[in-house]
Amino acid sequence: MVRYVYAFTEGGRDMAGLLGGKGANLAEMTRMDLPVPAGFTVTTEACRTFLTTGDEPDGLAREIATHLTALEEAAGRRLGQADDPLLLSVRSGARFSMPGMMETILDIGLNDDSVLGLAKVSGSERFAWDSYRRLVQMFGSTVMGVDSALFEDAMARLKDARGARDDLGLDAPDLAQLVETYKELIRRETGESFPRSPAEQLRRAVLAVFASWNGARAHLYRRREHIPDDLGTAVNVQTMVFGNLGPDSGSGVAFTRDPATGRTGLYGDYLSHAQGEDVVAGIRNTVPLTDLEHLDPASYTQLQEHMRTLETHYRDLCDIEFTIERGRLWMLQTRVGKRTAAAAFAIAAELADEGLITPDEVLARVSGEGLARLMFPRFDTSAVGEALAHGLPASPGAAVGAAVFDSAEAVRRAAAGQKVVLVRQETTPDDLPGMVAAQAVLTSRGGKTSHAAVVARGMGKVCVCGAEEITVDPQGRRFTVGDTTVEEGTVISVDGSEGAVHPGAAPLVDSAVMRYFETGTVSGGLVEAVARAMRRADAVRRLGVRANADTPEDAARARRFGAEGIGLCRTEHMFLGDRRQLVEAMILARTDAERRRALDALLPLQRQDFVGILEAMDGLPVTIRLLDPPLHEFLPDRTELAVRLAAAQAQGTPPAAHDAELLDAVNRMHEENPMLGLRGVRLGLVAPGLVAMQVRAIAEAVVARRRAGGDPRAEIMVPLIDTVEELRLVREEVERVLGEVSQESGVPVTCPVGTMIELPRAALTAGRIAEEARFFSFGTNDLTQTTWGFSRDDVEAEFFSAYLDKGIFKVSPLETIDRDGVGRLVEIAVAEGRTARPDLKIGVCGEHGGDPESVHFFHAAGLDYVSCSPFRVPVARLEAGRAAL
């Protein structure tokens, strides 16, 4: 037999799935002998049955009646008894806290008769009528569906008529009149009367709370918090205690520590002569909890004791709701309280000091996401006003600067010492210098894996992308949002953590945690707490953590942040800037000799890059990936070039010979789907001399570092392979060049050759590929793109939001690894790769390598390391530690 109702004396905190968080904790407090008003909980299972069938579950009414009788017997009075009514509250309580999202109905059991009895036994007519009008109001709006504003208007009109400032200005006859007005309102709006029968009130209240699970507010909240839609809510039915009985009564909320900073000591608010709902509704001004010490010293002392008991019992920050009824303290709710990221670290460290939790529990209670938030400067939230526009929070942090609309202007102004924000419709590799120069990047198009987002995250630069409300006008050097125009040079503030743009310079607060990672300086309790958690994570984690870095500066920073090598050095970034000319010359070369010359000119530049990176990562592995993107990305834009040529023709001036040649090359190389075209290993196999030049640069850099007394550990990685044959051909070429350089220099150079696994075919044939590869690195950006069949550059802003709305995915698979699909390919490749080569080293270097949830997956999948942007390295270390718990 299914059981739908549990008395508080029967439950416990480990029953949150069935009794909801609130019900489980009320039961726990009851067991702990804390003063909890008696009651019972209707299970989430009853709710689920109601939601699927649309009917009250069979037997529920009987179970409720039995528990009600027990309550009545213990109290010595019946629900709604005319001369001395037992009154009940009915509150929602889901498995995961959804504050204020569902319904509450208080004072169940009052009607035209029992209100008089309540007045008599309480000795306060005003209190009785105030309670009654609360019931009619809550029942009318929640259960009967009357617009709550109508009740509020009626109350406001009466207060005006009486000249009352707040609800305390209304006396008993006023409130009695208000009850009549409310009842009339209900009749008018619903055609039904407010039910007099206490049993019917209770029954309908319980069902209304069930139904509120599917209310629009609750639905939206669950979507945002990733709470499943099918859990349902429990309903708690509890004997009423009254904070509105007079000045010696009241209600409050309290925390066992400060949830903002983690500091010890009681924090909270108290409102005398009020019910709990009034405290949060802000109808009158609350006082700090510490004032209770003077208002009611006995209750205050008791409260302190109970909170200490709770914190020791739960071994964590607790928040509570309480009511004092004529000097008697009642505990109405407790739970492990929500807290800021800073408080999470500080509290965990203190509880460990107090011996309440172990170092591993400290790790379990903090998070990489929280750490990421603490690493960036942020805007002083108390000082920023309404946002100008919103976009996607693509790269966290806060930055202030003058808006500029192209890369060159960003570079020019930055060189003159000005802080700038680069505003583009979307960015391309051409914008790189401007992005480097800017404090932040703002785009009106593109998702969280658009060029702007990926590159900005890599550089630890603030980025808001896909801010669709803004219209960027690069020619006019301005952007507009509705009626507001922001001209070039106007200062704006970009909040990459929240995805918001503010006008003007919002005040900034610096990050001590970032200073710690940059310099090792431990200043203050928060940083000490973070450092402790990091030490523990490093001690327990199995996964290595490397960085994606392509410059010596990034490599050095990554090392300071704790990276144990480079998992991905993208060599394409070294083909930009001044070197573009040389790349162009290589592409346009008509003879072998011309191509050779261009490659020879690129060689020393590449070598120099590698020397710098190998030096910064001396003694640690540096995985260098051969050129990946299609060559035409290094040529000018096709349309721009065609327009330039046409304009020259129209003006009768002869077009630059170079331009015509370029357009020819661009046309020749044009691809409809460049992401699926001549890139990665394919490029290396058809562009003569390219692989040899890159490998030579790497090998000569290794020789140079060895001669300088260093310990260079370069690894060569081949991108985008489909089949083992591709890898075999490239590996043979690599070995040949390494042999040549060894011979020429007299320094033996060996570099392990491995491959990226970023196409489904590669994952599915990993066993064969492992015969030629010393290591695998999953390129989960491309692997996600090709497994799902969508373009990582285009989709996010467009259909992803619709997909998220429809619940097709809970989070973008480009952000968090899709375990079922892409994850399965990873598992297959790991298993087959290791069978073929047991010592195969396996890592991941897609964006997922720095995503907390994905790190847990990679740990479970048995990878050796994750690689992510330098700024995510501490996050990955922490999460790798948490994954190992």
Nearest to ligand PEP of 782, 879 (CB atom): 782
Show the site string, 764-803: x = touches Mg ion by CB under 5 A, - = not. Answer: ---------------x--x---------------------
Phi and psi at residue 228, to the nearest 5°: -60, 150
Q: Which of 167, 628, 715, 815 binds ligand PEP (CB under 6 A)?
A: 628
Q: Is 459 in the site for ligand PEP (CB under 6 A)?
A: no
780 binds, among Mg ion, ligand PEP, none (CB under 5 to 8 A by kind): ligand PEP
CB of 534 to ligand PEP, least distance (A): 25
Q: CA-CA distance, 340 to 259, in Å (whole number)?
A: 6
Q: Where is the binding site, in residues?
A: 570, 625, 758, 779-782
Q: Which stretch binds ligand PEP (CB under 6 A): 99-107, 380-388, 589-597, 773-781?
A: 773-781
Return the residue matching tokens 């709305």: 805
> Are 597 and 693 contacting, i.e. CB atoms less than 8 angstroms apart?
no
Q: Which of 780, 787, 854, 869 binds ligand PEP (CB under 6 A)?
A: 780
Residue type, 472: V
Residue type, 168: L
Q: Where is the binding site for substrate, in residues?
A: 570, 625, 758, 779-782
Q: Is 758 in the site for ligand PEP (CB under 6 A)?
A: yes
570 binds, among ligand PEP, Mg ion, none (CB under 5 to 8 A by kind): ligand PEP
CB of 785 to ligand PEP, least distance (A): 8
- Among 569, 845, 859, 868, the active-site one is 845
> Are 102 and 80 contacting, i.e. CB atoms less than 8 angstroms apart?
no
Residues contacting Mg ion: total by CB under 5 A:
3
Helix (H) or strand (E) holding 548: strand 544-548
| Closest to 279 measured CA to CA, from 225, 237, 320, 227 | 320
What lies within 8 Å, CB to CB, of 168 at 6+ separation is 273, 284
Nearest to ligand PEP of 117, 779 (CB atom): 779
868 is catalytic: no
Q: Which stretch binds ligand PEP (CB under 6 A): 255-263, 523-531, 774-782, 875-883?
A: 774-782
CB of 720 to ligand PEP, least distance (A): 8
108 binds, among ligand PEP, Mg ion, none (CB under 5 to 8 A by kind): none
Written as six digits, the tokens of 820 are 């079922």
CB of 570 to Mg ion, least distance (A): 9
Burial label for 30, CB within 10 Å (0-12, 13-18, 19+), is buried
845 is catalytic: yes
Residue 42, strand partner residues: 5, 235
Nearest to ligand PEP of 223, 570 (CB atom): 570
Judged by CB under 6 A, the chain residues 795 through 854 that form the site for ligand PEP are 845-846
- C-alpha pair distances (Å), 778 with each of 361, 648, 727, 878: 31, 47, 15, 21
Nearest to ligand PEP of 659, 794 (CB atom): 794
268 binds, among Mg ion, ligand PEP, none (CB under 5 to 8 A by kind): none
Nearest to Mg ion of 696, 792 (CB atom): 792
845 binds, among Mg ion, ligand PEP, none (CB under 5 to 8 A by kind): ligand PEP
Provide the phi-psi class of 417: left if phi over 0, else alpha when psi is between -120 and 50, else beta: left
Q: Which stretch binds ligand PEP (CB under 6 A): 2-10, 255-263, 372-380, 779-787?
A: 779-787
Nearest to ligand PEP of 346, 566 (CB atom): 566
| Closest to 93 measured CA to CA, from 27, 9, 2, 33 | 27
CB of 847 to Mg ion, least distance (A): 10
DSSP structure class, residue 189: H
Q: Which stretch binds ligand PEP (CB under 6 A): 18-26, 158-166, 324-332, 777-785?
A: 777-785
Q: CA-CA distance, 693 to 600, in Å (whole number)?
A: 8
Q: Is 781 in the site for ligand PEP (CB under 6 A)?
A: yes
| Closest to 225 measured CA to CA, from 96, 319, 372 | 96
CB of 216 to Mg ion, least distance (A): 41
Q: Is 683 in the site for ligand PEP (CB under 6 A)?
A: no
Show the site string, 353-392: x = touches ligand PEP by CB under 6 A, - = not. Answer: ----------------------------------------
Nearest to ligand PEP of 359, 429 (CB atom): 429
Q: Which stretch binds Mg ion (CB under 5 A): 61-69, 71-79, 177-185, 753-761?
A: 753-761
Q: CA-CA distance, 328 to 354, in Å (whole number)?
A: 31
Q: Is 85 in the site for Mg ion (CB under 5 A)?
A: no
| Closest to 848 measured CA to CA, from 457, 287, 383, 530 | 457
Residues contacting ligand PEP: total by CB under 6 A:
10
Q: CA-CA distance, 668 to 664, in Å (whole number)?
A: 6
261 binds, among ligand PEP, Mg ion, none (CB under 5 to 8 A by kind): none
Q: Which of 772, 782, 851, 879 binds ligand PEP (CB under 6 A)?
A: 782
CB of 761 to Mg ion, least distance (A): 14
SS3 content of the chain, % helix, strand, coil (to 5): 50, 15, 30
Nearest to ligand PEP of 68, 558 (CB atom): 558
CB of 770 to Mg ion, least distance (A): 19
- Among 306, 451, 502, 859, the active-site one is 451
CB of 570 to ligand PEP, least distance (A): 5
Q: Report the DSSP pairing between strands 398-404 and 462-465.
A: unpaired
CB of 781 to ligand PEP, least distance (A): 3
Burial label for 807, CB within 10 Å (0-12, 13-18, 19+), is exposed
Residue type, 234: A
| Closest to 166 measured CA to CA, from 275, 272, 291, 285 | 285
Q: Where is the binding site for Mg(2+), in residues?
A: 758, 782
Q: Which of 263, 570, 644, 824 binds ligand PEP (CB under 6 A)?
A: 570
Q: Which stretch binds Mg ion (CB under 5 A): 77-85, 97-105, 253-261, 757-765?
A: 757-765
846 binds, among ligand PEP, Mg ion, none (CB under 5 to 8 A by kind): ligand PEP
606 binds, among ligand PEP, Mg ion, none (CB under 5 to 8 A by kind): none
Residue type, 122: S
Q: CA-CA distance, 811 to 853, in Å (whole number)?
A: 11
Q: Which of 779, 813, 823, 874 binds ligand PEP (CB under 6 A)?
A: 779
> Are 20 and 94 contacting, i.e. CB atoms less than 8 angstroms apart?
yes
Return the residue matching tokens 């309102």: 185
CB of 562 to ligand PEP, least distance (A): 20
Nearest to ligand PEP of 391, 779 (CB atom): 779
What distance lies between CA 792 and its chain's CA centroid? 20
Q: Which stretch binds ligand PEP (CB under 6 A): 10-18, 242-250, 385-393, 775-783?
A: 775-783
Q: Which string of DSSP letters, residue by residue, matches 379-443? A: E-TTT--S-SEE-EEEE-SEEEEEEE-SHHHHHHHHHTT--EEEEESS--GGGHHHHHHSSEEEE
Q: CA-CA distance, 201 to 64, in Å (whole number)?
A: 13
Q: Which string of DSSP letters, residue by residue, matches 762-828? A: HHHTHHHHHTT-SEEEE-HHHHHHHHHT--TTTHIIIIIHHHHHTTS-SS-TTTS--TTTHHHHHHH
Binding site for Mg ion (CB under 5 A): 758, 779, 782
Binding site for ligand PEP (CB under 6 A): 568, 570, 628, 758, 779-782, 845-846
Q: Would you name the residues annotated as active-site residues?
A: 451, 845
